[in-house]
Chains A and B, each alone.
Chain A
Amino acid sequence: MVAQNIAFGIIAAITVAAALGMVTTRNIVHAALFLVAVLGGLAANYVLLTAEFIATTQVLVYIGAVMVLFLFGIMLTRAPIGRIPQMTGATWPVAALSALALGGITVYALIDRFGTDSLATDNTVFRTADVSDSVFSQYIIPFEAVSVLLLAALIGAVVLARRD
């Protein structure tokens, strides 16, 4: 358990730091790389939470596909690769205030409600098969909906990005 806690500590620290880096860096490519770090950290967290399939998916979809998409986006919009002085808008104090307030109240509420509740340890470990069973039985309709959504998004993206 201790090992897990230490691992979590390290992972969490990296994740939060990377997240902060992502929203503060002035270099857009760096931001993308920071996002990779955050997503990776989260994948590691999923492993800690015994959700290996999600962790795998996270790595495959996010780090593999979405990040590539982002980098393409950065490239296609000819964003300057180096430091951009005005990456942050003039209204950042308001944004920071909103985010702080929101974060603060969430943290307060969580501590207030869950305090030091331990994570249940004697639970079933759901394997990939369990997940797939669930998806294709209980959640078949949402699954189909997501499929259609993906299709729609695909078509939409093509339509939007098409030159004409």
Chain B
Amino acid sequence: MLLNQFLLLGALLFAVGVYGVLARRNGVMVLMSIELMLNAVNLNLVAFGLQHDVVSGQVFALFIIAVAAAEVGVGLAIVLLLYRNRKSIAVDEFDLMKG
């Protein structure tokens, strides 16, 4: 097996995730896409860990899974709050940054 096959897979998934984050209108979908990106990174970590014969790769993958879980929790809570306040979770309807 080549190192690159995993890395390339990770890269592709990451790009798809980026697209999803940027293009999807639904807040939940955006969060899902972020998960995708995080997972792509995880794959890289594990692959590199194997390549360099260190355990750190796996450890950090674990950490990322944990952080991702936390992020999803908070993210969904925010989406829920938005939905309650605005009855919509279409992110492009929010222009809070404009104020």
Contacts and interface: CB of A to CB of B under 8 A. Distances in A.
Interface of A: 1, 4-5, 8, 12, 15-16, 19-20, 22-23, 28, 31-32, 35, 38-39, 42, 45-46, 48-51, 53-54, 57-58, 61-62, 65-66, 69-70, 72-74, 76-79, 84, 86-92, 94-96, 98-100, 102-103, 106-107, 110-111, 114-121, 123-124, 126, 130-131, 134-135, 138-139, 142-143, 146, 149-150, 152-154, 156-158, 160-161, 163
Nearest to A135: B59
Contacts of A66: 35, 68-69, 72
- Which secondary structure dominates chain B's binding surface? helix
7 tightest CB-CB pairs across the interface, nearest first? A103-B15, A95-B22, A153-B70, A99-B19, A23-B20, A160-B77, A95-B23
A57 to B, nearest CB: 6
Given A53-B58, A157-B76, A160-B77, A38 B26 contact: no
B1 interface: yes
B80 A160 contact: yes
A157 B32 contact: no
A146 B59 CA distance: 12
Contacts, number: 262
B15 A150 contact: no
Interface string B64-86: 01111111111011111101100
Contacts of A22: 16, 20, 32-33, 36
A46 B20 CA distance: 24
Given A65-B69, A131-B62, A135-B62, A48 B1 contact: yes
A153 B80 contact: no
Interface of B: 1-9, 11-29, 31-33, 35-36, 39, 42-43, 46-47, 49-51, 53, 55-59, 61-63, 65-74, 76-81, 83-84, 89-92
Given A51-B61, A157-B77, A15 B9 contact: yes
A142 B16 contact: no
Given A23-B16, A38-B13, A107-B11, A54 B62 contact: yes
Nearest to B40: A42
